[in-house]
Structure 1
Amino acid sequence: MLSSYVVILTTTPSRDVSLKIARELVERKLVACVNIIPGVYSVYTWKGKVEEAQEELLIMKTKRELIKEVIKLVKELHPYEVPEIISLNISEGYEEYLKWIDEVVTIRR
């Protein structure tokens, strides 16, 4: 059975972009929290060439039902042509924290 809760990850090129995305997601109640981790160094292939970049990692906690909405908004606000936006199941967690996620995010139907 899939968990009701997920972590969504993305990387950004700067603190300004990170904060813009994080604030929008939290204000719109699409995520409960966004952790911004600076100093991530990425090595990847882009258009046939190995690239390297200093980035920030955003860790977003939300409900499974909101993944598509989170992805849509991150894509709209993100400067990258193809941003990394991936979700991971939260298989277990502190019950009070998971309840807090339920209280904070808003599922739109």
Structure 2
Amino acid sequence: MSARRCVMTASAMGLLYTTWPDAQSAETAAEAVLAEGLCACVNILGESRSLFRWEGEMRSEREIIALFKTSAGKASALSDRIARLHPYDEPCIIDLAVSPEGSSDGFLAWVRGEAGARPG
């Protein structure tokens, strides 16, 4: 049996997966981080159902998923800002780093241009 190796590569962009209690809170956060130049685009998806354990109990809640697309260099700052804007005590913010091979060159250039040029 051969050993598996995990090879770390530099990410080309950040794709932050987040969940929100409602569309309005997701949209408010999206508008704020877009205005601040922390991301290039936010997709606010329809309602989903989340099943999870919270404080020892099984829960089922309706939530909204929002995907934030940003440059690799701004992913950490974007994550921190989303956490400050989020109404949950422990928000779901997961950076699904995208490798250079994981997206088209043109799209990556657009994201970097929109989320990489401004200070923030």
User: TM tier, shorter chain?
Assistant: over 0.9
The match for 1:95 is 105
Superposition map of 1:21-60 within 5 A = 21-60=29-68
CA distance in 1, matches of 2:56, 2:72: 34
TM-score normalised over the length of structure 1: 0.93
Letter in 1 for 2:60: E
Answer 1 or 2: which has greater strand percent.
Answer: 1
* Cα RMSD (Å): 1.4
Identity %: 26
CA distance in 2, matches of 1:87, 1:15: 20
The match for 1:85 is 93
TM-score normalised over the length of structure 2: 0.85
State the aligned residue count.
Answer: 109
CA distance in 2, matches of 1:3, 1:71: 15
Letter in 2 for 1:31: C
**Helix, strand or coil: the match of 1:36?**
strand
C-alpha displacement of 1:62: 0.7
CA distance in 1, matches of 2:97, 2:81: 20
CA distance in 2, matches of 1:108, 1:2: 21
**Helix, strand or coil: the match of 2:47?**
strand
Q: Deviations for 1:75-100, whole angstroms, at most 9, x for unmatched residues?
A: 11111000000101212211111110
Structure 2 gaps, min length 5:
1-8
The match for 1:19 is 27
**Helix, strand or coil: the match of 1:89?**
coil
